[in-house]
A and B are shown apart, each in its own frame.
Chain A
């Protein structure tokens, strides 16, 4: 697509429920990132996918968080047994090969999925 698409844009859930957030990156982009942004805070890295390589999961805050990327395109971030501290905007970004280090590393962000855990 023309940009990075995320769904849902807003999700309100009850504590203890599982949620799935979806990201559809720009067509042809090989790298996909998930970041979390709490209210008024910075961008916290969660997980990174690059082509067929093993994902970098070093930013996932707990084993309640997992993500997968099917067919090298769409990614789903799953949060199990949600807690109130999981409330945040979850941002997905993708990047393509580009030319040179700058082109390959320019992230295009989606609009985010705002998660509220009651």
Chain B
């Protein structure tokens, strides 16, 4: 089945700096890659997603890039703010899998 690895597990940045979180996946047939944000004590919520026929997608301060050849995708957050502090999960789905496989999560802390 699909295996998703996520790095780093923790990331601290100064407010205003950029943050990058990287994920790799194993199933070359995967075609859908969402990112979820989970604030402390709350449920995960989708923040951005990308399909395999697209190399990059942006939504205001967040962007996701996908390299199908290398089987990795990344989340980029620019001009970070304290409210960006949360755990971020990447995920992959496609091929024969019917469920999303999540990465292990990245605890992002934005320091004021």
B34–A105 touching, CB < 8 Å: yes
Q: Which residues of A contact B99 (CB under 8 A)?
A: 33, 45, 48, 56, 59
In chain A, what residue has the closest Cβ to B43?
A: A109
Q: Which of A35, A41, A105 is close to B32, meaning CB atoms less than 8 Å apart?
A: A105
Q: Does A107 interact with chain B (Cβ within 8 Å)? A: yes
Q: Which residues of B contact A43 (CB under 8 A)?
A: 44, 89, 102, 105
Q: What is the interface size of chain A, counting residues whose CB is below 8 A from a CB of the partner?
A: 21
Q: Which residues of A contact B32 (CB under 8 A)?
A: 101-102, 105
Given contacts A50-B98, A56-B99, A91-B43, contact A106 B49 (CB under 8 A): yes
Q: Does A111 interact with chain B (Cβ within 8 Å)? A: yes
Q: Please list the residues of chain B having a beta carbon within 8 angstroms of any beta carbon in chain A.
A: 1, 6, 31-32, 34, 36, 42-46, 49, 51, 89, 93, 98-105
Q: Please list the residues of chain A having a beta carbon within 8 angstroms of any beta carbon in chain B.
A: 33, 35, 41-43, 45, 48, 50, 56, 58-59, 91, 101-102, 105-107, 109-112
